[in-house]
Structure 1
Amino acid sequence: MTFVEKLQTLRQLMAAQKVDAYIITAADPHISEYLPAHYKAIPFACGFTGSAGTLVITQEFAGLWTDSRYFTQVETQLNNTGYELVKLKVPHTPEYIDWLRQVLPKGAKVGFNHQLITVGLALEMQNSLTQRGIEITDVDFISTIWLDRVGLPVENAFLIDEEAAGLNISAKINEVKAALKINGADYHFISSLDDIAWLFNLRGKDVDYNPVSLSFALIAPAAVKLFIDKQKLSQTDIDTLNQQGVTLHPYAEVAEALKNLPKDAQVFIDPKRTCFGLYQCLPSSAKIVSGINPSTHLKSLKNNTEINHIRKAMLNDGVALTRFFKWMEDHLGKEKITEWSAAEKLAGFRAEQTSFVGLSFNTIAGYNANGALPHYSVTAESNQEITADGLFLVDSGGQYLYGTTDITRVMPIGNCSPTQADDYTLVLKGLIEGSKLIFPEGTKGYQIDSICRKPLWEHAINFGHGTGHGIGFFLNVHEGPQNISPANVDVAFKPGMVTSIEPGIYRPGKHGVRIENLVLCIPKGNSEFGDFLTFETLTLCFIDTSIVNKTLLAPDQMEWLNQYNQMVFEKLQPLLSTDEAAWLEEKCKPI
């Protein structure tokens, strides 16, 4: 079926069941960012491949609600599908709820799959729509028409040992139980795959780029249950889990386990990381304690073992990136290089590194105008040849045993304009200001965000994405609870958190600039005014200085840049060939 035919069929099913509006979310029952192919319903329905969006269908209108990162992409992908773009005013907000309140009459019915929506969003929708006399109902029309849908992934999973993780499973479980006690809960249901992976030292291959395995967990006063298809694990790993006090249960039995909880259970759930369908399985008399999963906070504070492994991963990544950029410089103009072939070449250099497992996300390789799309994904149609002019933006990362990387660099190809040089330098200033920041304990991400944006704001420039996100330890490239963004996220930075800093400037149809490093939050000292923190930069890849507009850099910013590039050379030089080291030394010369 074409997208138009699929839309027509969905509307027929809606009419048959008297559903006035049907919502399709980009989610799975674990509320994952990256979805197994089985749950990629939005690409199936309309062709949109971005990671953030919601489809809302009525008999008169069909729209995709998404944010500014995808506006240009949507214009192409929604063409002739029957769907229209609806631009979100505020990213990551369900603005379609107000739209439904306005267009639907009293007595209307709104349907969506309760397994594919968060508790928080479903309750918000329920409260808002019922005030208008609009009913919500659990329906799944997508499964009815998706006849060639692939099954759930069945990839093998494995445990990482204490030597790699720094803590064994039982110790982590005890930390979570201590947090539950403080919150007045005796049971804890966990849906989020990265939280489960951290808690049980479990890794897998069920989701592209994220080394996780489909599973649920239930912590009870006298038992810890892991719901996972047993055949995914070796007998050795099963024995290890049992020895650590964990019993295994079939993945499909989680709903029944929730229904059988004691009626007076006090259950801790994360309403943003738990699906509404499983929430509805809890006994109606149970007391629900809501909050961020304790494991999310614990996971964000990397221990010394994890930090040491991450530093090794950065060395591996730095070697791969050095070889890639040298290869680019040596071969540009001598052979045809495209965005696609460059991304494949970079993946090849990473694959040569010891402990490499795979990419941490789909590489963004954008030349000139394509670099202005923050979440650009090269396709056969968009693939550009990289020639002699402009800027080439590469945002990429790797999963290593054990560590996750995420880095963005912009390579000046030649004949760069003064505007491109100024944009590059202003973004660099934003990175530097965040990286060298000293801040008091208790500082939140939105406070740091404004400091990183200040060099751009001074030139009436801004960007539409966050400035930074947490990074997992051989886990998801995006993790919380901390971030650096304008959103008022009430999470303070603490020592042990690894976060990206990645300001950008995007000029549609022209070029984009983003420079990104990962930083570790560390203590800085104290005074009569309290304890202070700062960042240690972990990423090891030179920052190109060839187009820096020195007049825009303050002396302390120039000093930071020179010291950073010198550190990169000193740490990577022993791992490079003589020719590679000489090339890198030239790139890292002070300016």
Structure 2
Amino acid sequence: MENTVIQGRLAALRKAMKEAGIDYYMIPTADFHNSEYVNDYFKVREYFCGFTGSNGTLVVWQEGAGLWTDGRYFIQAERELSGTTVELFRMREEGVPTITEFLQKNMQKSQTLGFDGRVISAQTGKEYEEKLADKQISIAYAKDLAEGIWTDRPAFPAGKVTVLDEQVAGRSFEEKRGDVMEKLEKENADAFLLTKLDDLMWLFNIRGCDVECNPVAMSYGYLTKERSVLFIQKSVLDDGVRAYLDKKGIEVEGYEDVVEFLRGLSPKGKTLVDVRHCSYALYKTLAQKQKPVEKKNPTELLKAIKNPVELANMEKMYLKDSLALTRFIYWLKKNIGKMEITEITAADKLEEFRREIPECLGLSFPTIGGYKANAAMMHYEATPESFAVLKPEGLFLVDSGGQYLGATTDVTRTIVLGPISDEIRQHYTVVAAGMLQMTNARWLHGCTGRNLDILARQPVWNIGMDYKCGTGHGVGYILNVHEGPQGLSWQYAEGRPEAVIEEGMDITNEPGIYVEGSHGIRIENVMVAKNDVKNEYGQFMHFETLTWVPIDMEAIDEKYMTETQRAYLYKYQREVYEKLSPYLDDEEKAWLLRETRADGTFFLKN
């Protein structure tokens, strides 16, 4: 069925392109800071093609349009693009060109590529400059063509800003600033332009609410030996925040004043900028005054290695969060088939359990609750117009998390609601085996996530299957649920950054299997890297688990596990029971004993 609304919007965009002399127009999923998740104001790509995923780039030309997205969203994108005339380009699939390759092949000599330079990273913009130079392609980056078309566009975000107490943050602004300045000196830079929102919040010890579930405020920062400048919408600062910033010697300038500030810099200065996150437009402004020092934000690694206060708070809050999810699983299994429960009401009930925790500030991302075939879409989100009713059969996958004064959580469990097939039982068991192998990893310092990923993926590969995403990502501290530079991913790609896993880094562990039209399985915990023994071979490391939620034994078939994997499972389930049971009533405790098989009956029987 044709989607006339999207087709009409694309027609209006092509008309605006023609008037502006633009042949190809590109719309990514980003705000002015290249954020992964964005405020509704920035959802231009979604407006013009209907795809709601958090990662994707739309390219429009007079004869057509294409959307590039990754494997997490193939099923969802195919459904949402239906009838729009937008073609789906499945990133990293065999025979599928990258956007750059597509433009190189299809753009004619001396044509113009257009985009809003504020929402394209400098790295991406510079790549197009370089790769399209032989065709003498012009780049027009000063226009947001949505402005004249999206007439009911949401307002620009301007939410309240709060100060994070140093007792919760673990380190003061001055201490963090000192670490940053040490890094700058090593990079031979005398200034630092910071544009990444979660890094800004971490450095200045403030939080905002300009992106749903992400406690960030629209801002920029500029640091030198003498000055700390925060560019932020002054209207969002109350007297308490102003007093804090003044006390810390932080100069406050208007958010929109950053361009003029950069234009006034000394040509002799050396400003460090991270081209992965700085916008192309802002980078161009800086480059007109200075030769930028193009390095990674020093704040990224500093932020990723959690300090002792953060780790202590995370351990406490992850236990509370695990208890909330476990109580939800008990409620769901007890009530399935006795009352109507939908994907939406189940998610609402889980949120209720979380909000009973005094430190709860909200969700860390919209809950992904997928029943049966819906769970095959990795980032599925039920809506009032489209949702499934849960029945006492099959699997229900719930990926969720909370924001707390002391942690950001991310956890997935796939829950058995009733009879399942032997195939599903096999798939569930190998996913659990992979998650447990990663949990028990031991390695020498110097490994990146690419060295470790196979531990989680091997049991899945052994049955000739795979999952089209990484195994893990870093998690912020009262910040974004996805954080770098650490990650777990097996695939080599030229230019793709990798980071050595350091003590104090937290990381998710979430293998899965997704079968279109049938089921999806994911089991996810969060872990923290810790130093182990150090000897003549080097510094050994291991993970400590933060998440303590039972694995559903109703879906486990031990014949698909090795003896070692079964031992890992028993150990984890026993620890879940030991950690959670003191906080449960007698009925819940009896259920958890059966659920975890912590008395060993399942393992003795099998």
Q: Does 1:11 align with 2:19?
A: no
**Preserved CA contact (<8 Å) 2:453 2:471:** yes
Q: Does 1:523 align with 2:523?
A: no
Rate the CA distance shift 1:30–1:448 in 2: closer, same or farther, 3 A: same
In 2: Cα distance, 1:87 partner to 1:114 partner: 25
Counterpart of 1:534 in structure 2 is 542
Q: Does 1:124 align with 2:110?
A: no
Q: Deviations over 1:3-48 (max 9, x none)?
A: 1111111111111222111111111111111101110101111111
Counterpart of 1:304 in structure 2 is 308
In 2: Cα distance, 1:119 partner to 1:240 partner: 33
In 1: Cα distance, 2:72 partner to 2:244 partner: 44
Match of 2:516 among 508, 512, 525: 508
Q: Does 1:49 align with 2:55?
A: no
Counterpart of 1:451 in structure 2 is 455
Counterpart of 1:572 in structure 2 is 580
Counterpart of 2:161 in structure 1 is 157
Q: What is the DSSP-based 3-state SS (H/G/I as helix, E as strand, rest coil) of the residue aligned with 2:292?
A: strand
In 1: Cα distance, 2:97 partner to 2:311 partner: 37
Counterpart of 1:146 in structure 2 is 150
In 1: Cα distance, 2:568 partner to 2:249 partner: 49
In 1: Cα distance, 2:518 partner to 2:474 partner: 30
Greater alpha carbon shift after TM alignment, 65-74 vs 493-502:
65-74
Greater alpha carbon shift after TM alignment, 457-466 vs 556-565:
556-565
Q: Deviations over 1:75-106 (max 9, x none)?
A: 22112223221222259x98122111211211
In 1: Cα distance, 2:226 partner to 2:17 partner: 46
Counterpart of 1:294 in structure 2 is 298
Rate the CA distance shift 1:163–1:94 in 2: closer, same or farther, 3 A: farther
Displacement of 1:546 in angstroms is 1.9
Q: Deviations over 1:49-90 (max 9, x none)?
A: 011111111111111111222222122211222322122225
Counterpart of 1:270 in structure 2 is 274
Q: What is the DSSP-based 3-state SS (H/G/I as helix, E as strand, rest coil) of the residue aligned with 2:114?
A: strand
**Preserved CA contact (<8 Å) 2:32 2:118:** yes
Q: Does 1:248 align with 2:289?
A: no
**Preserved CA contact (<8 Å) 2:319 2:546:** no
Q: What is the DSSP-based 3-state SS (H/G/I as helix, E as strand, rest coil) of the residue aligned with 2:285?
A: coil
Q: Does 1:319 align with 2:344?
A: no
Q: What is the DSSP-based 3-state SS (H/G/I as helix, E as strand, rest coil) of the residue aligned with 1:281?
A: helix
| Matched letter for residue 116 of structure 2 | N
Counterpart of 1:230 in structure 2 is 234
Displacement of 1:220 in angstroms is 1.7
Structure 1 gap ranges (5+): none
Greater alpha carbon shift after TM alignment, 521-530 vs 71-80:
71-80
Q: What is the DSSP-based 3-state SS (H/G/I as helix, E as strand, rest coil) of the residue aligned with 1:519?
A: strand
Greater alpha carbon shift after TM alignment, 111-120 vs 1-10:
1-10
Displacement of 1:524 in angstroms is 1.0
Counterpart of 1:418 in structure 2 is 422
Q: Does 1:76 align with 2:76?
A: no
In 1: Cα distance, 2:334 partner to 2:462 partner: 37
CA-based RMSD: 1.5
Q: Does 1:203 align with 2:204?
A: no
| Matched letter for residue 148 of structure 1 | D
In 2: Cα distance, 1:291 partner to 1:486 partner: 25
Q: What is the DSSP-based 3-state SS (H/G/I as helix, E as strand, rest coil) of the residue aligned with 2:118?
A: helix
Greater alpha carbon shift after TM alignment, 135-144 vs 229-238:
229-238
| Matched letter for residue 91 of structure 2 | L
Q: Does 1:38 align with 2:62?
A: no
| Matched letter for residue 475 of structure 2 | I
In 2: Cα distance, 1:543 partner to 1:242 partner: 50
In 1: Cα distance, 2:541 partner to 2:44 partner: 43
| Matched letter for residue 398 of structure 1 | G
Rate the CA distance shift 1:63–1:507 in 2: closer, same or farther, 3 A: same
**Preserved CA contact (<8 Å) 2:485 2:498:** no
In 2: Cα distance, 1:516 partner to 1:148 partner: 39
In 2: Cα distance, 1:572 partner to 1:68 partner: 36
In 2: Cα distance, 1:227 partner to 1:480 partner: 24
Displacement of 1:542 in angstroms is 1.1
Counterpart of 2:69 in structure 1 is 66
Query: How does the TM-score come out when normalised to structure 2?
Result: 0.95
| Matched letter for residue 459 of structure 2 | P
In 2: Cα distance, 1:209 partner to 1:132 partner: 43
| Matched letter for residue 51 of structure 1 | S
In 2: Cα distance, 1:400 partner to 1:568 partner: 21
| Matched letter for residue 119 of structure 1 | A
Greater alpha carbon shift after TM alignment, 433-442 vs 383-392:
383-392
| Matched letter for residue 102 of structure 1 | K
Displacement of 1:237 in angstroms is 2.5
Count of aligned positions: 590
| Matched letter for residue 76 of structure 2 | Q
Counterpart of 1:556 in structure 2 is 564
Displacement of 1:483 in angstroms is 0.5
Q: What is the DSSP-based 3-state SS (H/G/I as helix, E as strand, rest coil) of the residue aligned with 2:286?
A: coil
In 1: Cα distance, 2:537 partner to 2:164 partner: 42
Rate the CA distance shift 1:464–1:190 in 2: closer, same or farther, 3 A: same
Counterpart of 1:107 in structure 2 is 110
Superposition map of 1:369-408 within 5 A: 369-408=373-412
Displacement of 1:285 in angstroms is 4.8
Q: What is the DSSP-based 3-state SS (H/G/I as helix, E as strand, rest coil) of the residue aligned with 1:385?
A: coil
In 1: Cα distance, 2:516 partner to 2:386 partner: 15
Displacement of 1:381 in angstroms is 4.0
In 2: Cα distance, 1:372 partner to 1:526 partner: 43
Displacement of 1:449 in angstroms is 0.8
Q: What is the DSSP-based 3-state SS (H/G/I as helix, E as strand, rest coil) of the residue aligned with 1:263?
A: coil
Superposition map of 1:355-374 within 5 A: 355-374=359-378
Rate the CA distance shift 1:159–1:308 in 2: closer, same or farther, 3 A: same
Q: Deviations over 1:398-428 (max 9, x none)?
A: 1111101101111111211111111001001
Superposition map of 1:455-466 within 5 A: 455-466=459-470
Counterpart of 1:334 in structure 2 is 338
**Preserved CA contact (<8 Å) 1:297 1:481:** yes
Counterpart of 1:87 in structure 2 is 90
Counterpart of 2:552 in structure 1 is 544
**Preserved CA contact (<8 Å) 1:262 1:283:** no
Q: Deviations over 1:106-127 (max 9, x none)?
A: 1111111100100000000111
**Identical counterparts, % of pairs:** 38
Greater alpha carbon shift after TM alignment, 234-243 vs 519-528:
234-243
**Preserved CA contact (<8 Å) 2:475 2:506:** yes
Q: Does 1:471 align with 2:475?
A: yes
In 1: Cα distance, 2:144 partner to 2:239 partner: 37
Q: What is the DSSP-based 3-state SS (H/G/I as helix, E as strand, rest coil) of the residue aligned with 1:116?
A: coil
